[in-house]
Amino acid sequence: DVKVTQSSRYLVKRTGEKVFLECVQDMDHENMFWYRQDPGLGLRLIYFSYDVKMKEKGDIPEGYSVSREKKERFSLILESASTNQTSMYLCASSLSGFEAVGTEAFFGQGTRLTVV
Amino acid sequence: GQQVMQIPQYQHVQEGEDFTTYCNSSTTLSNIQWYKQRPGGHPVFLIQLVKSGEVKKQKRLTFQFGEAKKNSSLHITATQTTDVGTYFCAGPTSGTYKYIFGTGTRLKVLA
């Protein structure tokens, strides 16, 4: 089974802190994603990566950055946490390919981040 | 940018009633995927549709992909309490790696 592991289930940080959310997948997937989930807004894509050291902005990248130094690890960084970044953060990974069967996303258990 | 909307946002049904959620994308999707998220859990893949007009069934669940590949639906026949959760559609915009998720439909089933 594919396993996507996020470093923390719950996190409480102070406004202005630099926050690192880590995600590791064990299935050699090319693609990795960071989403945030807020009630009524679904899952919104923050950043994604299709290869090591490659990254592209999603729909809401402001206030975030990412790092992918190794294929299995994708980190989300909040440079200066703010209260409006309080949310559930979900990491996912998938095989590459646009239409091939088997390119579904596998999610981690999520990190509920509270910024106070 | 691309938007994927789902309706309804919430649905309460009596156990045994049918349920349908609709997914509409502002742009063409190369494929459509459906996910289920149980309360307190993370999204889990249900199915993928690739071809225009495709229909797939999984027991009581029926999935359809529109002819224009811009809309899709999930229909559950005779809902059960185990169907409770939020259902999301998702897909990569044609020619990109970006998985865009719908806004989700939260289903509650009353026993």
Distance from CA of A6 to the nearest CA of B (A): 12
**Hey, are the CB atoms on B95 and A33 less than 8 Å from each other?**
no
Supply φ then ψ for residue A11, to 5 degrees: -145, 135
pLDDT tens-digit series, residues B24-83: 998 888 889 999 999 999 999 999 998 999 999 999 999 999 999 999 999 999 999 999
Beta bridge partners of B76: B19, B61
B38 touches B84 (CB < 8 A): yes
pLDDT tens-digit series, residues A56-100: 999 899 999 999 999 999 999 999 999 999 999 999 998 876 555
Distance from CA of B94 to the nearest CA of A (A): 7
pLDDT of residue B31: 87
Closest residue to A98, CB basis, from B35, B41, B95: B95
pLDDT of residue A100: 59
Distance from CA of A23 to the nearest CA of B (A): 14
**Hey, are the CB atoms on A108 and B42 less than 8 Å from each other?**
yes
How does DSSP assign B39-93, residue by residue? TTS--EEEEEE-STT-EEEETTEEEEE-TTSSEEEEEESS--GGG-EEEEEEEEB
Compute the half-sphere exposure of residue B41: CA atoms within 13 Å on the CB side of its CA: 13
pLDDT > 70: percent of chain B: 95
User: Which of B99, B100, B103, B106 to probe the A interface (max A CBs under 10 A)?
Assistant: B99
pLDDT surpassing 60 at residue A22: yes
pLDDT of residue B53: 96
Instruction: Count CB neighbours of A28 within 10 A.
Output: 10
Q: Where does the pLDDT of residue A10 fall: very low under 50, low under 70, confident under 90, or very high at 90 and above?
A: very high
Residues 6 or more apart whose CB falls under 8 angstroms from that of B66 comprise B52, B53, B72
